[in-house]
């Protein structure tokens, strides 16, 4: 089976909710030992609900400077190794660029970009040393297009593409692939917050397939990139946007 994670340990950030939770479920259903991380205590119940019994939850704010390294250390200690990192933790703070607060900018960059880099760096140290690894980061269609009131979000997601390219270049020779996945609006708590009401309906009309994405559709793509057979794909940003940014 292409997506057999029976011998794999997968660390998933943002695992309490939305896309991260869907990814944790998808990987657990295919045999992975999942370590789910989230700032929300809800990650404990989320991980307890995964198929198979050997998963582990970590409650951590990944914007704390030392947190990503501590999370990776804990994951390796409890699971005996690490093979996959999925960076799904993220936030959105909407405001016109002229009005966006300094705090909203800082928080967005801290979670979406800085914490994701620190997680990738900490995991990368383990994966490069082991000679095998898969890192998949949730960027967004916002990484390649502008969206009104999304200036901090778009900047953070575009930054992830630069990070992905450099890490993929530096780690390809060590068996570690690094890719990004860029969905259009996904029907999760975050997606519903940013695209409620008429704004969302107008967006749907611009998406050629005529609907938003479901978390499970994104999870399936992430799992492919996280699997053994995807070893020839690295440094890529894969759009899953119903044709929105591509046509």
Ligand X SMILES: NC(=O)c1ccc[n+]([C@@H]2O[C@H](COP(=O)([O-])OP(=O)(O)OC[C@H]3O[C@@H](n4cnc5c(N)ncnc54)[C@H](O)[C@@H]3O)[C@@H](O)[C@H]2O)c1
If binding is defined by CB under 6 A, does position 57 make contact with ligand X? no
Nearer to ligand X, 130 or 203 (CB): 203
Looking at the chain, how many residues does it have?
Answer: 247
If binding is defined by CB under 6 A, does position 164 make contact with ligand X? no
Q: Which of 94, 138, 207, 226 binds ligand X (CB under 6 A)?
A: 138
If binding is defined by CB under 6 A, does position 36 make contact with ligand X? no
Total residues contacting ligand X by CB under 6 A comes to 28
Q: Could you say which of 132, 153, 224, 244 is catalytic?
A: 153
Work out how close the CB of 84 gets to ligand X at its nearest, in angstroms, rounded to a whole number. Answer: 16
Nearer to ligand X, 20 or 133 (CB): 20
Q: Which of 91, 94, 158, 161 binds ligand X (CB under 6 A)?
A: 91
Work out how close the CB of 220 gets to ligand X at its nearest, in angstroms, rounded to a whole number. Answer: 15
Which long-range contacts link 211-215 to residues 24+ away (Cβ below 8 Å)? Answer: 211/242, 212/184, 212/185, 212/186, 212/187, 213/183, 213/184, 213/185, 213/186, 213/187, 213/240, 213/241, 213/242, 214/186, 214/187, 215/18, 215/19, 215/21, 215/22, 215/186, 215/187, 215/188
Classify burial at 171, counting beta carbons within 10 Å of its beta carbon; exposed 0-12, middle 13-18, buried 19 or more. Answer: buried
* Selected range binding ligand X among 78-86, 97-105, 164-172, 181-189, rule: CB under 6 A: 181-189
* Selected range binding ligand X among 32-40, 121-129, 197-205, 225-233, rule: CB under 6 A: 32-40
Nearer to ligand X, 165 or 192 (CB): 192
Q: Which of 119, 190, 207, 222 binds ligand X (CB under 6 A)?
A: 190
Place of tokens 């990814």: 23
According to DSSP, residue 48 is labeled: H
Q: Which of 177, 188, 227, 234 binds ligand X (CB under 6 A)?
A: 188
> What string of DSSP letters covers 122-165?
HHHHHHHHHT-EEEEEE--GGGTS--TTBHHHHHHHHHHHHHHH
Residue 244 among the catalytic residues: no
Catalytic residue annotation: 153
Interacting residues toward ligand X by CB under 6 A = 13-14, 16-20, 38-40, 61-63, 88-91, 111, 115, 138, 140, 183, 185-186, 188-191
């Amino acid at each position: 089976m292409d997506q057999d994670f029976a011998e794999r340990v997968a660390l998933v950030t943002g695992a309490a909710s939305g896309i991260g939770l869907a990814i944790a479920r998808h990987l657990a259903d295919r045999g992975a030992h999942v370590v789910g991380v989230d700032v929300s205590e809800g990650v404990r119940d989320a991980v307890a609900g995964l198929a198979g019994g050997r998963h582990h939850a970590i409650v951590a704010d990944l914007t704390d400077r030392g947190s990503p390294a501590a999370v990776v250390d804990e994951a390796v200690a409890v699971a005996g190794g690490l093979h996959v990192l999925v960076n799904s933790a993220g936030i959105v703070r909407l405001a016109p660029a002229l009005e966006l607060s300094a705090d909203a900018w800082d928080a967005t960059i801290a979670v979406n970009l800085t914490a994701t880099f620190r997680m990738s760096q900490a995991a990368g140290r383990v994966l490069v040393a082991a000679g095998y690894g898969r890192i998949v980061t949730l960027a967004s269609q916002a990484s390649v297009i502008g969206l009104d009131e999304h200036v901090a979000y778009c900047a953070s997601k575009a930054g992830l593409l630069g990070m992905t390219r450099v890490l993929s270049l530096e780690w390809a020779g060590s068996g570690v692939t690094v890719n990004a996945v860029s969905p259009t609006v996904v029907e999760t708590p975050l997606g519903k917050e940013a695209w409620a009401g008429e704004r969302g309906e107008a967006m749907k009309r611009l998406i050629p397939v005529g609907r938003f994405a479901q978390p499970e559709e994104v999870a399936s793509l992430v799992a492919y990139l996280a699997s053994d057979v995807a070893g020839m794909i690295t440094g890529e940003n894969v759009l899953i946007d119903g044709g929105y940014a591509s046509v």
